[in-house]
Amino acid sequence: MPATPTPRLQFPYMVWAHTESSRSPYSLSQSGMPMADPAFLPERGFADLQQPSQEALGLYEAKLAELYGVAPERVIATVGASGGMLVAALRWFRPGSRVVVEVPSYEPVRALPAWLGADVRYLRRRLEDGWQPDPDEAARELARGSGPGHVFVTNLHNPTGVRSDRERIAALGRAAERAGGLLVSCEVYMEYVPAGRRVHAFEAAPNGVSIGSLTKAYGLGPLRLGWIVLGEALAARRAEVQDMGYLAWVDPPTVALRAGVAALGRLQELLQPLARVTREGRPAWERWLASTPGVEAVVPEFGIIAFARVAGAPDTVALGEHLAREHGVDVVPGEYFGAPGHVRVGCGVPAATLEEGLARLARGIAAFPRR
């Protein structure tokens, strides 16, 4: 009997993240803050077996609607931002559609449309352009072919951490609108940005879809709780999007929803660890990105991740192995984002850990070509 071929994984980065991303005591691979102090959680809720739709789901979505200043029918609870991306893909990225996806990118941005049978086109973000997406390039890609044409991006961008401004996001939305499609923006990292500087697709474009979660800036990944906010022109299509949520998971857990409501009422408190990282650790990280020999990077204005091009290291999987084995520091190889020769470097760790990790990283990069 012939051997069964090994299937091609759609999300190999997550396998790496679960098994190899933190092998050293100086891991700089994280894109989210450490786990939050659970003291904010209410005493009630952890033996709550009430159906989510009876109360908890409505409270959570209403709280989000209030936070974003939109009607409740434009908000849909999801199982994390990953769930939001899945629901959007199930609804819109189907055979017969075209989806322009950014590169470099978080793997599901590329994998979901391809897996579901859409015609995938690539929008190249380039270091030389500050990693910003070009709406004209998106429009050119959408002009080829027929069927609804969508744009799928992240903002803040994963893996570079750069923020695209409202005008650029609106232009991407117009490009999608002309192609009969939507702008879908995963904004899970936008919570790192002060409230007055945030950019949301649902505000910038009537055909915009914003996806967010409590995972990254607030350290609440274990809740697996996120959301979708629909642009004004999409409010009437809520039932179609919710239907995909029902198909995927029916409802988020009641316990998570109640914890989410508590968290949404105490966001400033939950951001205090980020404020400490910004104050105590981020300056050293910025200096390292700007001045380390052999490293070229855009220093992002907000957040805790950046994407560095490494001279003499076209294979950054091999570089990552060298760094972990010989220098005791972990970063994310660019291959997982479709960009070999780069690494994603985070700073969301205590200042002393960060300082030592960056020193080890610089030594490891210098030694890699001579290994």
Assess whether 67 and 157 both reside in one domain.
yes
What confidence tens digit (pLDDT) does each residue in 293-333 have?
Answer: 999 999 999 999 999 999 999 999 999 999 999 999 999 99
Point out the domain boundary residue: 266, 295, 316: 266
Distance (Å, whole) CA 151 – CA 135: 10
Cβ proximity of 357 and 304 under 8 Å = no
What confidence tens digit (pLDDT) does each residue in 85-119 have?
Answer: 999 999 999 999 999 999 999 999 999 999 999 99
Assess whether 184 and 315 both reside in one domain.
no
160: containing domain: 38-266
For the whole model, what pTM was predicted? 0.95
Structurally, the chain folds into a number of domains equal to 2
Locus of tokens 């080890």: 360
If one compares 88 and 2, the residue with the highest pLDDT of the two is 88
Assess whether 45 and 176 both reside in one domain.
yes
CATH number at residue 23: 3.90.1150.10
Assess whether 164 and 128 both reside in one domain.
yes
Residue 7 placed within a domain = no
Assess whether 68 and 173 both reside in one domain.
yes
Distance (Å, whole) CA 264 – CA 68: 11
Assess whether 253 and 117 both reside in one domain.
yes
* 44: confidence class by pLDDT, cuts 50, 70, 90: low
Locus of tokens 């579901």: 116
Point out the domain boundary residue: 243, 266, 289: 266
Residue 6 placed within a domain = no
Assess whether 239 and 349 both reside in one domain.
no
Assess whether 258 and 300 both reside in one domain.
no
Residue 246 placed within a domain = yes
Distance (Å, whole) CA 7 – CA 57: 37
Residue 5 placed within a domain = no
Residue 180 placed within a domain = yes
Residue 3 placed within a domain = no
Assess whether 148 and 213 both reside in one domain.
yes
The H-assigned helical ranges of 189-237 are: 201-204
- In the predicted model, is pLDDT for residue 2 greater than 70? no
Q: Which of 142-151, 252-261, 354-363 has the highest mean pLDDT?
A: 354-363
Residue 2 placed within a domain = no
What is the model's pLDDT at position 1? 46
Residue 77 placed within a domain = yes
Point out the domain boundary residue: 266, 283, 301: 266
Assess whether 57 and 21 both reside in one domain.
no
Contacts of 328 (CB under 8 A, 6+ apart): 24, 25, 26, 360
Assess whether 298 and 218 both reside in one domain.
no
Assess whether 129 and 240 both reside in one domain.
yes
**Number of other CB atoms surrounding residue 251 within 10 Å:** 15
Distance (Å, whole) CA 89 – CA 18: 24
